[in-house]
Structure 1
Amino acid sequence: MTTIDPTPRTYPFNTPDRLRLDPFYAELRRQEPVSRVRLPYGEDAWLATRYSDVKTVFADPRFSRAAAVGRDEPRARPTAQQTGILTMDPPEHTRLRKLVAKAFTARRVEQLRPRAQRIADDLVRGMHRKGPPLDLVEEFALPLPITVICELLGVPYSDREDFRVWSDAFLSTSKLSAQQVEDYITQMRGYMTGLIEQRRAQPAEDLLSALIQARDEQDKLSETELVDLAVGLLVAGHETTATQIPNFVYVLLTHPSELEWLRNNPDRVPDAVEELMRFVPLGVNAAFPRYALEDVELGGVLIRAGEPVLASLASANRDESVFDDPEGLDLARESNSHIGFGHGPHHCLGAQLARMELQVALGTLLREFPGLRLGGDEQDVVWKSGMLVRGPQYLPLAWD
């Protein structure tokens, strides 16, 4: 067994610095891959930083997400996520996941690609009409995934301003007060409950109607599970993709040689998306701890039954034992087994949808704006703060 420093380190290690991953992760991977950390809230935890250990925490059934319910789980925010599919283990997790998985298969997502492309084309036409400089976030990055998930789920796009505000409650660390978080979650759940009642009265060809049918006719989920699942799909279905689009564009604009390569090789956009998923540390810190159900040796350390473990996806994606030149951006990377979408039972349900939207977004922007550049200095980019994810809140763009 490895001897470690028993004193928990303060975590996250520092405040987000644009899209810079704290170099201390690399030091931990080399010297103390499983270490003790203390977050702003909850009990102390173990932090796994190596690729192999992170995959173990996410996939090994000896580590439980459901065991966090009722515990003071380590977290960066005052409130804990205590309900919904993210707090379940198989077989309950599997039961709910199966209800929606068919809507997010590679085949089904490819059927959505032409519609996503039309949405993107409409958005860039609007950008051309307005002219530079303009904000990529408001003009393109947000409306693209919001429109797609609204149409897929069956949520009125006209209500987007409301649920955009409420969605912050699920990702806020300090941006919102504890009371605001509670109020926004209540409002989001109330909104979705009302929409479910509308769909019960007037079913449509959408995912929400299918879930209601599974609830009412097949008795495959409870009413609370139905509301939680619908809310989770709406929030997750737009928030992270809407953040990654400007993240990816910012990275490309600040790596001009890689941007030029991609412009000359537009057929490699799918590879570029995978590399950007590996390279961009979306999460400010590791979240959603798993609890050991029995004593487990991990990375040379004994994790006792009942102890929580956090696993850093961002650190795993920079593991020197897995990736050549992991700190560098290489859009032509041949082998890319990143875990940017997670791993194991909780692997991102919408990964294929996100991939497609990101491919459409990058391909369209590169094609339509060959002279794309920042619409000002880097200091003009406004970054999110007090959130679980990092990315531009405002990204000014210009073009030739």
Structure 2
Amino acid sequence: MTEIFSMEYYADPFPTLARLREHEPVARVSPPFADVDLWLVSRYDDIRALSTDRRLSVDTQLASERFRTSGLAMGIGTAWEKAFVVNPADNVRQRRLVGATLTPRIVEGWTAVITETVSTLLDNLDSDLVQEFGYPLAVTTIGTVLGIRQSDHELLRGWADTATSPDRAASTQALTDALAYIGEQIEIKRKRPADDLLSLLLNASDGDERLDEEEVTAIAGNLLIAATDTTANFFPNAVVALLDHPGQLALLREDPTLVDRAVEEVLRYSNPVVLSPGFRFALEPIELHGTVIPAGGTVGFFLAAANRDPLAYDEPDALRITRATTTHVGFGHGPNHCVGSALARLQGRIGLTGLLERYPRFGIAIDRAELRHRVSPFMYGFDRLPLILG
């Protein structure tokens, strides 16, 4: 039996997640990378229900002292705690103001820069889809969107990659450095505002309500970390999933208009986020499937398990790009649903379309069994994905 967070688990978490989902849907786990107990939830309906349950809070100020000192909490004592990890009233206010800067019109306005970046990267793609396409696309997009100069994009990539690693000391340092850098950029934008997301966030208002500087720093840092790692891993996950299901790949090649549905199905089937790093904290005892989560308990959502729940999907372990049910929890659910989901979908659509048009007969350049997965409790992806381009 594969142990959670073992090397075997990282290589293929889905059998272990299926076992938990069926036999231990609320699993109490002491992870090897942090001195804290976690209650990990794996069923689709449970995660959707708990995402809106007022008995749980995302406010790290309400977490147990053990959690706050475990190294598992991101950004304790920094501005990060003000990004969607606050009381419900502030959460609603922040999301309303951020939503005004991430409207469909504004997001679609980034189509040109994403399309140009995809084209350039594909022109120069030698083999590795992870390092030569996924990460550069993610970093260039979020860096450009935030208004960060291109010479600093590699700094963003390093911080984003390290922030989700199992080395929690390194993760905390990366997050601290990223927030400090964003704070410096905010000072620049105050003096010279431009047509970029950081400037939009600084100027966002609804009547007398505005975002303060710490909130802008935290929100920009949240978008940087989330947008980089998830987008970078989406494309190799999508390619491997499609190659593992050649009939679905053929269908997409025959009908490119299915690309949006293919993006959604990949996000369900092989989402880059296995375990959401956005933990919840029980404000009172919660009983679920015979297990009591105590007051103060730390709750985590196995999004990858929920997205393959047989109670929610027919044939959940199969990739089907024409699947009728497209709802998934790849971006979370409820009031803490990922605010950058529209941008992620746009990158997925443009990037996957570009790859299929430029290299319609791509394949994996090494034996499938030789692919090495990332070692991360939160993310699912590959260290590298060498392709035969054709």
Displacement of 1:396 in angstroms is 1.1
Q: Secondary structure at the match of 1:305?
A: coil
Aligned to 2:342: 352
For the 8 Å contact 2:275–2:300, the answer to whether it is kept is no
Match of 1:29 among 8, 13, 21: 21
Q: Secondary structure at the match of 1:340?
A: coil
Gaps of 5+ in 1: 1-8, 128-132
How many residues are paired up? 382
Displacement of 1:193 in angstroms is 1.9
Match of 2:263 among 273, 278, 294: 273
Paired residue type of 1:213: N
Q: Secondary structure at the match of 1:209?
A: helix
Match of 1:156 among 145, 149, 164: 149
Could you tell which deviates more after superposition, 220-229 or 45-54?
Answer: 220-229
Query: 2:72 and 2:10 mapped to 1: Cα distance?
Result: 24
Query: 1:171 and 1:296 mapped to 2: Cα distance?
Result: 28
Match of 1:391 among 369, 378, 381: 381
For the 8 Å contact 2:25–2:289, the answer to whether it is kept is yes
Aligned to 2:129: 136
CA gap 1:74/1:28 in 2 versus in 1, 3 angstroms: farther
Q: Secondary structure at the match of 2:319?
A: coil
For the 8 Å contact 1:35–1:48, the answer to whether it is kept is yes
Displacement of 1:356 in angstroms is 1.1
Q: Deviations over 1:135-168 (max 9, x none)?
A: 1223321222322222221111221111211223
Aligned to 2:222: 232
For the 8 Å contact 1:48–1:54, the answer to whether it is kept is yes
Query: 1:123 and 1:287 mapped to 2: Cα distance?
Result: 30
Q: Secondary structure at the match of 1:249?
A: helix
Q: Where does 1:58-73 land on structure 2 (aligned, <5 Å)?
A: 58-67=51-60, 69=62, 71-72=64-65
Query: 1:95 and 1:114 mapped to 2: Cα distance?
Result: 31
Aligned to 1:88: 86
Displacement of 1:244 in angstroms is 1.0
Displacement of 1:11 in angstroms is 4.1
Displacement of 1:355 in angstroms is 0.8
Could you tell which deviates more after superposition, 114-123 or 330-339?
Answer: 114-123
Q: Deviations over 1:82-108 (max 9, x none)?
A: 323242241112222222222333343
Aligned to 1:106: 104
Q: Where does 1:39-50 land on structure 2 (aligned, <5 Å)?
A: 39-40=31-32, 41-50=34-43
Displacement of 1:280 in angstroms is 0.8
Q: Where does 1:232-381 land on structure 2 (aligned, <5 Å)?
A: 232-378=222-368, 381=371
Query: 1:105 and 1:278 mapped to 2: Cα distance?
Result: 24
Query: 1:224 and 1:336 mapped to 2: Cα distance?
Result: 36
Query: 2:67 and 2:176 mapped to 1: Cα distance?
Result: 23
CA gap 1:358/1:16 in 2 versus in 1, 3 angstroms: farther
Aligned to 2:140: 147
CA gap 1:237/1:27 in 2 versus in 1, 3 angstroms: closer
Aligned to 1:130: none
Query: 2:374 and 2:19 mapped to 1: Cα distance?
Result: 27
CA gap 1:33/1:265 in 2 versus in 1, 3 angstroms: same
Displacement of 1:364 in angstroms is 1.0
Query: 1:126 and 1:348 mapped to 2: Cα distance?
Result: 31
Q: Secondary structure at the match of 2:300?
A: strand
CA gap 1:185/1:303 in 2 versus in 1, 3 angstroms: closer
Query: 1:49 and 1:65 mapped to 2: Cα distance?
Result: 18
Paired residue type of 1:108: I
Displacement of 1:375 in angstroms is 2.4
Displacement of 1:13 in angstroms is 6.4
Displacement of 1:300 in angstroms is 4.4
Displacement of 1:73 in angstroms is 5.9
CA gap 1:380/1:35 in 2 versus in 1, 3 angstroms: closer
Q: Deviations over 1:28-66 (max 9, x none)?
A: 333332232222324323222211111112111221111
Aligned to 2:161: 168
Paired residue type of 1:342: G
Q: Secondary structure at the match of 1:393?
A: coil
Aligned to 1:119: 117
Displacement of 1:202 in angstroms is 1.2
Query: 2:149 and 2:66 mapped to 1: Cα distance?
Result: 35
CA gap 1:301/1:383 in 2 versus in 1, 3 angstroms: closer
CA gap 1:236/1:47 in 2 versus in 1, 3 angstroms: closer
TM-score, with normalisation over the residues of structure 1? Answer: 0.86
Query: 1:74 and 1:245 mapped to 2: Cα distance?
Result: 33
Aligned to 1:6: none
Q: Deviations over 1:330-362 (max 9, x none)?
A: 122112221111101111111111011101111
Q: CA RMSD in A?
A: 2.7
TM-score, with normalisation over the residues of structure 2? Answer: 0.88
Q: Secondary structure at the match of 2:110?
A: helix
Match of 1:212 among 187, 202, 215: 202
Query: 2:276 and 2:340 mapped to 1: Cα distance?
Result: 20
Displacement of 1:212 in angstroms is 2.6
Could you tell which deviates more after superposition, 181-190 or 251-260?
Answer: 181-190
